């Protein structure tokens, strides 16, 4: 499901069963990420799928990339794999107005 920036952020803040999933590359991730996100680069192909298999399908996944395209693809793949609740951030990280964190060195 696609959510606007505001809806994604407000729904995320109220969700006690949320996981934030960043599907960008590690280089993009290192330039800043949404706090508490986990990285799973969709360009890794089979590696991306393996990491998805390890995730708890009962959680609600808030997925983002740079502009919203890769994360929409990721949500579609996750839905096919049995994830029921995936939320794509429309406009992606480049339009994000919320807090930004940087990965630990």
Catalogue the active-site residues: 65
What is the spatial distance between Cα 105 and Cα 100, in angstroms, rounded to a whole number?
A: 16
| Kind plus residue range of the DSSP H or E element containing 28 | helix 26-30
Tell me the helices (H) and strands (E) count for the chain, helix number first.
4, 5
What is the spatial distance between Cα 22 and Cα 74, in angstroms, rounded to a whole number?
A: 10
């Amino acid at each position: 499901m696609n959510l606007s920036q505001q809806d994604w952020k407000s729904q995320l803040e109220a969700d006690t069963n949320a996981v934030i999933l960043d599907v960008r590359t590690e280089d993009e991730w290192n330039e800043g990420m949404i706090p508490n996100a986990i990285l799973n680069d969709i360009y890794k192909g089979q590696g991306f799928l393996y990491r998805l298999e390890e995730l708890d399908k009962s959680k609600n996944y808030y997925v983002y990339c740079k502009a919203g395209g890769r994360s929409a693809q990721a949500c579609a793949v996750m839905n096919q794999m049995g994830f029921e609740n995936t939320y794509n951030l429309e406009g992606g990280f480049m339009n994000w107005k919320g807090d930004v964190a940087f990965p630990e060195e």
